[in-house]
Each structure stands twice: as structure tokens, then as C-alpha cells.
Amino acid sequence: MKRRALIVGVAVTALLTPAAAFGVWTVTVTPGTTTASAATQVLSPTAKATTRSSTAIDVTATAPSGSGVVPTSYRVQRNGTTVSGCDSLGFSQTCSDTGLNPGTSYTYAVLGRVGTQWVSSATTVSTATTAAPQWVSTSAGASTITTGQSVAWTVVFSQPVSGVAAAAFQVTGTGGATAPIASVSPSGSAPATTWTVTSGASTGTGSLRLDLKSKAGIIDSGGSGLSDTSFPISGGSSATVTVNAPAPTSAVAVTGISRNGNSSNYTFTGTSSGGGTITVTVSTTANAGNCSLGSALGTQPTASGSPWTSGTISLTGGSIYYVRATITGNPPATSRIYAVTAPTTTNGSAATTQVC
């Protein structure tokens, strides 16, 4: 008797072995693997590699069109090894290769796939991660300030960073000038390329310079810290501001009037700051609205120092007068207008009242 085995399928291997008891042939079928001709029919995808950060690169692929088998997914390999999570990706998905070295070029093989077996030839794409961030510059917002004032510095990094805190900076003073770090803020929101560092009130005189003290905690979007290796980093001349002593000030006030004995001669008293001659002007009228004094009476008495007492001026006891003092200091200063009633008693005195 003739026995037949009919094997239907594609790419299979059949092994016929007799069964001793029944004289029947047993058929074993093993699935075949992709043939070379089948693999070459899968079209290679169009691919693109994009830098994401200093430690990551994104790879995307677009399904090709043309004569041949169009792949249904794609695979990304680096150095012959499939990137983690980047196998059997749909063409609308992105492969993210993370944990890379900053400032390094990487090449990827992108393969189209059909099912689990058919693989196209590779499309090769390359790009590099960004370099780790660096300090670029520090510049002072003002070239000179006065003791007691603060200063703002602009700090620029090579790319957006976060984690920039007051502890990252130090103010280096010379000649006795000092200032604390008061605040640190990004331009916009973090991560940012440009940051503003503001000092507190300065003390002493000399110069202040902002230096980058430490890179601890300053990172870019890929988690890479500053590539600068030597700290502190001097902000340089552009980050230096001169601290000058406050400009001299002058002030003068009229505090009282005194009668000399039982005469019509009166003197005025007051205080002043700053050097110079004090001139007292007395009038019978004043305009409080615009703080102006009327016509001056007699010869204007003068004085100096603080407290001061002016020369005499002839007035009428019991009358109301308005008085103003001017000091020719550096800079000059003029007092407010004060009202006073001339005393009528011998050696009498009275206090002034500010009008304006």
C-alpha cells in the first residue's frame, strides 16, 4: 500500500518517520525563518535623530512608500544593540535614548519591521548631545554705587539651567566694602539661561565683585551639572562695582528766638549739618501754600556750626515773624519756614513752629 503525506505551508521543514505499530508516517513541521529575499522586500523607513538634552537623543521614523513591503513598526539600535524601549515602535512614536554622555555624537541604525521576523535594511542617522552647561559671564548692573545701596548682577550660562541658589555665589570685596547675597531669580522661569543675583545693602567703601562659588545643584534639563571644574570662578572686571562713600549732605533748622536784654535786638538759634555759613532771613509774611517767604527785614544775620546762634536783628516784641535759614555747605541747604512770636520780656525766648 502506498501512503502519502500532504504538507501545506510556506517555509517549513517536514520530517517523515514511520510508526512501528501501525505502519503510519508521522509528520513533524518546524516553522521557517525569514529568507534573505523576504527581508530585502521590506522598505527602509525614513528616520531622524534629534538632540533633546546633554544626556538624551530622540529618534523618530516615518513609514516609507513605494514598491515593496511597507513596515508596520520600527526598531532603533545603537552599536548593534537595540535601545531600551525602542523595539516594535509605531511610526507615530518617539524612541528616547537616555543616559548619554554630554557633548557626544551618536549614530543609530533604524530598521523597519513586519511582524516579528521581517526586517528591512538599516537607515543610519546621527546627532550629538548638547555639551554640559557652563558659566558664560557675570556683569554688574551699575559701575558705581554709594555705601548702603545694593547692586544687581546678571549671570549668563551657556544653556538653560535650574537649581541656581544664593549658595552658588559669593561677593568678593576689596578696600573694606562688603555686601551679602540677598536674592537669586531666573529671567522668566527656571530652567533659564540668564539669572539675576541681587545683593543686600553694601557697607564700607572700595569695590564689590560677584564670583561663582560652587556648581552644586546647578543642572540642565538633562541633569548634567556645570562642566567648569575650578571654583570659585571670578566674575571679572565686568562684575565689579565701585562703592563710594555717601555724598556730603547739608541740613539746617531754626529752633528758637531770644531777646537780648531789654532791647529790640533778637538772635535766632538752630542746628545744622555740613559746613558753611548760615544766613537767617526774617519776614513779616509767608505763603504756606508754596512755602515762600515775604520780603526780608533789615540786615540778614549769619551763624555757623551746630548748634548755632545768629547775629542780632532788630524786631518788635510781641509781633509774629516768619524765618528761614540757608546754609552755603556742599551741597547747600535751606530750612523750612518757621513762625515765631518775638518775646517781650527781658532776655525772653520762644520756640519756633514749622509753617511749611
Tens digits of per-residue pLDDT, 182-201? 999 999 999 999 999 999 99
Mean pLDDT of 234-258: 93
Task: Tell me the sheet residues that pair with 123.
Answer: 110
Residue 142 in contact with residue 94, Cβ under 8 Å? Answer: no
What's the confidence (pLDDT) of residue 116? 74
- Domain co-membership, 172 together with 187: yes
- Domain co-membership, 153 together with 230: yes
- 54 domain-assigned: yes
Those residues whose C-beta lies under 8 Å from the C-beta of residue 131, and which sit 6 or more positions away, are: 54, 102, 103, 158, 227
- Domain co-membership, 157 together with 114: no
The C-alpha cell of 282 is what? Answer: 526774617
- 195 domain-assigned: yes
What's the confidence (pLDDT) of residue 40? 60
Residue 258 in contact with residue 270, Cβ under 8 Å? Answer: no
Residue 306 in contact with residue 273, Cβ under 8 Å? Answer: yes
Task: Flag whether pLDDT at 227 surpasses 60.
Answer: yes
User: Is the bond leading into 64 cis (omega within 30 degrees of zero)?
Assistant: no
pLDDT band at 34 (very low <50, low <70, confident <90, very high): very low
DSSP 37: H
Specify the CATH number for the domain of residue 235. Answer: 2.60.40.1220
Tens digits of per-residue pLDDT, 121-178? 999 999 999 999 999 999 999 999 999 999 999 999 999 999 999 999 999 999 999 9
How many residues are given for the chain? 356
- Domain co-membership, 192 together with 215: yes
- 8 domain-assigned: no
Q: For the beta carbon of residue 201, count every other beta carbon within 10 angstroms.
A: 13
- Domain co-membership, 238 together with 139: yes
* The residue type at 235: G
What's the confidence (pLDDT) of residue 297? 96
Task: Flag whether pLDDT at 338 surpasses 60.
Answer: yes
What's the confidence (pLDDT) of residue 242? 97
Task: Flag whether pLDDT at 27 surpasses 80.
Answer: no
Last residue of a domain, one of 212, 244, 276: 244
SS3 of residue 168 by DSSP: helix
Mean pLDDT of 309-314: 97
Last residue of a domain, one of 244, 259, 287: 244
**Which residue reads 549732605 in cell numbers?**
249
Residue 207 in contact with residue 240, Cβ under 8 Å? Answer: yes
Last residue of a domain, one of 71, 94, 128: 128
How many C-alpha atoms does 175 have within 13 Å on its Cβ side? 14
Nearest Cα residue to 132 out of 225, 229, 230, 233: 225
Domain interval for residue 336: 251-354
Task: Give dist(CA 142, CA 168) in Å, integer.
Answer: 21
Distances (CA, A) of 336 to 77, 269, 321, 325: 85, 14, 14, 8
- Domain co-membership, 264 together with 233: no
What is the domain count for the chain?
A: 3
Task: Give dist(CA 102, CA 57) in Å, integer.
Answer: 11
pLDDT band at 68 (very low <50, low <70, confident <90, very high): confident
Task: Give dist(CA 244, CA 224) in Å, integer.
Answer: 41
Tens digits of per-residue pLDDT, 275-287? 889 999 999 999 9
The C-alpha cell of 128 is what? Answer: 550629538
What's the confidence (pLDDT) of residue 31? 35
Task: Give dist(CA 270, CA 252) in Å, integer.
Answer: 7
What's the confidence (pLDDT) of residue 247? 81
- Domain co-membership, 282 together with 226: no
Look at 33 and 141; give whichever has higher pLDDT: 141
Mean pLDDT for the chain overall: 88
Task: Give dist(CA 345, CA 25) in Å, integer.
Answer: 149
- Domain co-membership, 139 together with 77: no
% of the chain surpassing 70 pLDDT = 89
Task: Flag whether pLDDT at 269 surpasses 80.
Answer: yes
- Domain co-membership, 271 together with 170: no
What's the confidence (pLDDT) of residue 35? 41
Task: Flag whether pLDDT at 19 surpasses 70.
Answer: no
Residue 215 in contact with residue 228, Cβ under 8 Å? Answer: yes
Task: Flag whether pLDDT at 72 surpasses 70.
Answer: yes
Task: Flag whether pLDDT at 224 surpasses 70.
Answer: yes
What's the confidence (pLDDT) of residue 39? 52
